[in-house]
Amino acid sequence: MSEMNVKFYRYKITTLSPIHVGTGEEFLPTNSVISDDCGSQKDMICPECGRKIEDNYCSTCDIEYTEKESTSGEAHLHTFTSQELLSSLEVNQKTLFYNLCKQGDWSKIRDFFVNNADKIAKKSHIKATVSQEVYSDYKNMGKDAMFGIEKQFTDLLTQNPIIPGSSLKGSIRTALLNAKAKFRKCDNDKKLAQELLGYEKINEDPFKYFKISDAFSSAPITTRIIKQINNSRSNGYTLQPQGYAEIIPANSVFEGTICFNNAKDNNLRFAELFSACKEFYGKELAYEESYASEVVGDAFYKKLKNLSENRYLIRVGKHSGAECVTINGYRKIKIRKRGGYETKDHATTFWLSKDNNQEILPFGWAVMEISEAK
């Protein structure tokens, strides 16, 4: 590879709505607790770094706060080690916990953690803020509820959320495939990407020349626990809760790098990648607005329109919408129905993030800015 053919770029991503890139793992009532920090616990977090404050002092930032300044007024999800759990319990509670584990009754073990959440939280680590609706559900969960909260992809060292480069690359690739599908008809759906991008073998895929790093944030970002809502695009937009997820909040900023190789056998052009994003996701945004604005509100969609030249709309993560991860003209979206599935060229439901009663937003929208590395 000739170094003269390689160019490096920096990118910045600003989230416009909640984003969830999952790990396949969950927070459960037996490995985490939710506690109201303004209730009996009086736990505090630093607004600068999101870490727990002890005695009104943040050792990470070397800042001293008054109690009013440092108490956030929200419930928090706390995670803990086995040692931290045991250190938070009195002798009689440890005995009770041991006996419950011997009995193996899941609901009683779960209730033990919920009932002792404030005490356990004092010895644990703050992981995320929690909406009051989720906190209420946690305290009043049914007998057989697992109450799993889907985990966000996170840097294990800093505990900051990450947007994986693979997610971003997939988003950009989908936009380009849609752009090319407008001008070329493909007969073999199984080799759609090969035909549109002009390659046969996997190792000939031109996207091997487009390498994008994971997106990291230089500033601490506190994730949030929200409800996932599935909505019908008809039937009056009935809101149907479908579980809980840890999300990256809107207005979070991430940065990363891109390496692009202009090799002779690379038929991609750097500029076309992002012009495809602007066109494809711009159209999908308008389409989503046509059926979701009644629930989400017009103000959200209005601020996403008319981006400047060097800002490109993208969509990443779970619940980005079936249309945003498929190719127009070749869509075969599975629709669940009684007795099995049917396929359509459009989805019949859409997903929203519900944060208390104040804010209902779609998932996955972000804007990307590109600049050439110096």
Backbone angles phi, psi at 159, to 5 degrees: 65, 10
Residue type, 323: E
Task: Count CB-CB contacts under 10 A for residue 18.
Answer: 28
- At residue 368, φ and ψ (nearest 5 deg) are -115, 135
> How far is CA 268 from each of CA 167, 212, 275, rounded to the nearest angstrom?
19, 15, 12
Q: Taking Cα atoms as reference points, which of 244, 286, 211, 292 lies closest to residue 9? A: 211
3-state secondary structure of 325: helix
| 109 in Cβ contact with 146 (< 8 Å) | no
- Taking only the tens place, the pLDDT of each residue in 221-243 is 999 999 999 888 876 566 677 89
| Distance (Å, whole) CA 303 – CA 290 | 15
Q: How many CA atoms lie within 13 A of 201 on its CB side?
A: 2
Distances (CA, A) of 202 to 67, 93, 198, 208: 58, 58, 11, 9
Q: Amino acid letter at 68?
A: K
Tokens of 367: 């804007």
Q: Identify the sign of the CA torsion 87, 98, 26, 136.
A: negative
Low-confidence ranges of the chain (pLDDT < 70): 1-4, 37-56, 59-60, 65-73, 235-239, 357-358
CA distances (Å), origin 80, targets 21, 119, 175, 284: 22, 12, 41, 41
Q: How confident is the model at residue 316, as a pLDDT? A: 97
Question: Taking the model in full, what pTM does it have?
Answer: 0.86
Give helix 91-103 / helix 106-115 axis angle, nearest 10°. 160
Nearest to 295 by CA among 347, 248, 365, 239: 239
User: Residue 270 half-sphere exposure, CB side, CA atoms within 13 Å?
Assistant: 18
pLDDT number for residue 60 = 65
What letters, b where the CB count within 10 A reaches 16 and e where it falls short, cover 273-290? bbebbbbbbbebbeebbe
Residue 40: per-residue pLDDT = 36
Domain boundaries, the chain: 3-20+162-372, 32-147
- Phi then psi dihedrals of residue 328, to 5 deg: -60, 130
pLDDT at 14: 96
